[in-house]
Amino acid sequence: MFLVPLCILYGTLAYTAERAHIPLPKPDELKYRPIHFAPPAAERVLLNNGIILYIFEDNELPLLNISAVVRTGSNYDPIEKEGLAELTGTVMRTGGTDALTGDAVDEALDFLAGSLHISMNRDSGLINLSILKKDLDEGLNIFSQIITRPAFEESKLKLAKNLLIEELRRIADDPKKLAFREFKRVLYQNNPAGRFPSATSVTSISRDDLIEFHRRFFYPENLMISITGHISKEEAVAKIKQYLGSWNESRKYNVVPPIPVKQKGHIYFLSKNTPQSIIICANFAPGKKEPDAYPFEVLDFIVGSGGFKSRIFQEIRNNLGLAYSTGSFYTKRSEYGVFGAYAMTKSESTAKVLLLLRSIVEDAKTKSVDKKELAWATKSINNNFIFSFQSADQIARQQLMIEYDKLPPDYLATYRDKIADVQPEELKRVAMKYLSPDETVTFILGNESAYSQVITTFGNVCRIEDQL
C-alpha cells in the first residue's frame, strides 16, 4: 500500500517536467491543410439485356468483388409463406445449378477460397462474390449459374428449412434479437415489414415455391451489378457479357409492397425473465427522397446518434450511469424512415429511463437548438462523409444504390451542402411534425418487476406474446 502514493507522485512529476517545454496547442485551434473531396465516380454501363453495371478499378490487391443487387426481398413473401425469400437465397447458394451439384459448388468455391454469399433484406437481395483475380472465370461461371439456373436440390432445401426453424427456436435466447423482431412486428402492423417467418410458415414452403419466387424476381432488368478491384472497365464489361450477356428473359414488373402507415401511439410490453430491460420508442420519419430527411438526420444526431456528445447518451449514460447502450437511430429507406430512441437498463430503472427518453425527445420540440450544438452536428456529419468512400466496393455500391433507390443523380454531390444549410428552427419543425407522442410506438422487453413499474407509472400498457 505504501507504493501507491509514491507511484502517483512520480507520475505527476514526470508529467510536469516533460510538459514544461512543450506548450500544447488548443485542439480547436489546430490548423489543417484543406481537403477537397469529391466522391470518386464509378463507371456505369448498360448491357443490351438490361443489366446495369457499375465498375471501379483498384489494382492494389489481387482481388475482385462482384455484387448483384436484385429488386426483391422478404417484403414480397406471400402471406403464410414468410421465409420464402430467405430460403430462396439460401438454396440458390447451396442447392446446385443445372450443371453443378450443390456439393460441387461448395467444393469448388472452398478450394479457390472464394466467398459467395446471398442475403435477402426486406426490399432487396444481394449476391456477393469475392474471388482472387486468377480465379475470376471459375468464380463468374458459378456466380452466373447460381443467378440464372439454380437447381434447388430437395435435400438442401430440407436442410435450409430445418436450420431456419432451429434459428427461430433460438431467437428467444437472445434478448436483443427478440426485442427488435417483436418491436418491428408492432411497429409495422398490417404491413409486410411486420411479418416474420415462423416454424409453421417455413414448414409450408416447397421447392416449387422457391422456383416460382426465383422466376418472378431474377431477370436481367431487375438486377444491377457492381464489379470492383483488379480489373479494367473493358475487361469487366467483357467478362459480364461472357457469363450473363446471353441471359435474355423478361418479366412483368412486380408490384412494390405498400409502405407502412403510422400507428396510434401505445406502450407494448413483452415479458421475459431477464435482469435488463430493452426499451425502444419509435416514430415514422421522413424517407431519403424527402427534403425533411436532412434536418431530421441532424436532429437524430443531436438527440441520440451522434456518439458521446448526443443528448440521450450524456443524460442516461454519463450523468446517471443508467445504461451502457443508449441513444437513437434513424433508418432511412427511399419512401419512409423510422426514428427510435432506445436504452438497455437494469429492471429497477425501466420506468425512469422511459420517462427520460420521452422528455429528451419532447425537449427537441419545445427548445431551440443552440448554434454551437447545431454546428457540431453538421460539421460532424459532413466531415465523416468521406468514410462512405473508403474502398472500391463501397464507392461503386454507393452509386449503384442511388440508382436502385431512384434518388436524384446529384444526391451524393449535394448531400453535404444540404446538411450544412439546416437551420435551428427546422429541427424544431421536423421534431413537431414527426415525433408526436400520439404516434409513438413504445416497445419494452423486460421481466415482471419491470412490468409492474411500467403499468404503475404509465397506466395503459398492452402486453404482447412473442410469435416464434
Partner 1 sequence: MRIFAFVLLIISMPSLGFSYELGNRVLSYTLKNGLKILMVERHLSPTVSFYIRHRVGAVDEIDGRTGTAHLLEHMLFKGTRTIGTKNYHEEQKILKLIAETGKELDIEKMKGKNTNKSRVQALSERMEVLQKKHKKWFVKNEIDRLYVENGGDNVNASTGQDLTTYHVSLPSNKIELWARIEADRMTGPVFREFYSERNVVMEERKQRIESEPEGQLYEQFLAAAYIAHPYRRPVLGWPSDMRFLSLEYTEVFFKRYHAPNNTVIAVVGDIDPANTLTIIKKYFGAIPSRHLDPSLITEEPPQNGDRRVDIVSDANPQMVIGYHKPAMPDFDDYVFDVIECILSKGRTSRFYRVLVEEKALAESVHAVNGLPGAKYNNLFAIFAKPRHPHTNAEIESAIYDEIEKLKIKPATTRELEKVKNQIKADFIRSLNSNSGLANLLSYFEAVTGSYKYITDHIKVIERVTSEDIMRVTKKYLTPDNRTVAKLVYKN
Of 100-129, binders to partner 1 (CB under 8 A) are 106-107, 109-114
Closer CB to partner 1, 195 or 311, in the complex:
311
x/- string (CB under 8 A) for partner 1, residues 221-250?
---------x--------------------
CA distances to 169, 278, 364 from 177, in Å: 12, 11, 29
On whether the CB atoms of residues 347 and 277 are closer than 8 A, the answer is yes
If one counts every other C-beta atom within 10 angstroms of the C-beta of residue 275, the result is: 12
Question: Concatenated DSSP letters for 66-129?
Answer: EEEEES--GGGPPTT-TTHHHHHHHHHHHS-BSSS-HHHHHHHHHHHT-EEEEEE-SS-EEEEE
Per CB under 8 A, the list member of 2, 25, 252, 465 interacting with partner 1 is: 25
Q: Is residue 2 within the footprint of partner 1 (CB under 8 A)?
A: no
Residue 252's contacts (CB-CB under 8 Å, 6 or more residues apart) are none
List for the chain the helix, strand, coil content (%; round to 5).
50, 20, 30
Q: Is residue 390 within the footprint of partner 1 (CB under 8 A)?
A: yes
Closer CB to partner 1, 121 or 382, in the complex:
382
Q: Is residue 352 within the footprint of partner 1 (CB under 8 A)?
A: no
> What's the rounded Cα separation, in Å, for the pair 440 and 268?
11
CA distances to 300, 310, 366, 379, 466 from 304, in Å: 6, 5, 17, 16, 28
Binding piece for partner 1, criterion CB under 8 A, among 13-21, 75-83, 261-269, 425-433: 13-21
Q: Is residue 320 within the footprint of partner 1 (CB under 8 A)?
A: yes
Q: Is residue 136 within the footprint of partner 1 (CB under 8 A)?
A: no
On whether the CB atoms of residues 217 and 45 are closer than 8 A, the answer is no
The size of the interface with partner 1 (CB under 8 A), counted in residues, is: 89
> What's the rounded Cα separation, in Å, for the pair 213 and 82?
12
Per CB under 8 A, the list member of 67, 75, 88, 94 interacting with partner 1 is: 94
Closer CB to partner 1, 258 or 275, in the complex:
275
Q: How far is the CB of 357 from partner 1 (least distance, A)?
A: 15
The position carrying cell 421447392 is 207
Q: Is residue 413 within the footprint of partner 1 (CB under 8 A)?
A: no
Binding piece for partner 1, criterion CB under 8 A, among 60-68, 82-90, 327-335, 454-462: 60-68
Closer CB to partner 1, 263 or 349, in the complex:
349
Closer CB to partner 1, 173 or 208, in the complex:
173
Question: Nearest Cα to 68, choosing from 127, 136, 147, 130?
Answer: 127
Q: How far is the CB of 229 from partner 1 (least distance, A)?
A: 9
Per CB under 8 A, the list member of 44, 204, 376, 418 interacting with partner 1 is: 376
Residues 151-210, interacting with partner 1 (CB under 8 A) = 159, 162-163, 166-167, 169-170, 172-175
DSSP H helix total and E strand total for the chain: 17, 12
Closer CB to partner 1, 75 or 350, in the complex:
350
Closer CB to partner 1, 383 or 452, in the complex:
383
Per CB under 8 A, the list member of 45, 47, 63, 402 interacting with partner 1 is: 63
Residues 252-311, interacting with partner 1 (CB under 8 A) = 273-276, 306-309
Rounded to 5°, the CA angle 17-23-29 comes to: 150
Rounded to 5°, the CA angle 333-432-440 comes to: 65
H or E element that contains 269: strand 266-271
Closer CB to partner 1, 329 or 376, in the complex:
376
Closer CB to partner 1, 435 or 444, in the complex:
444
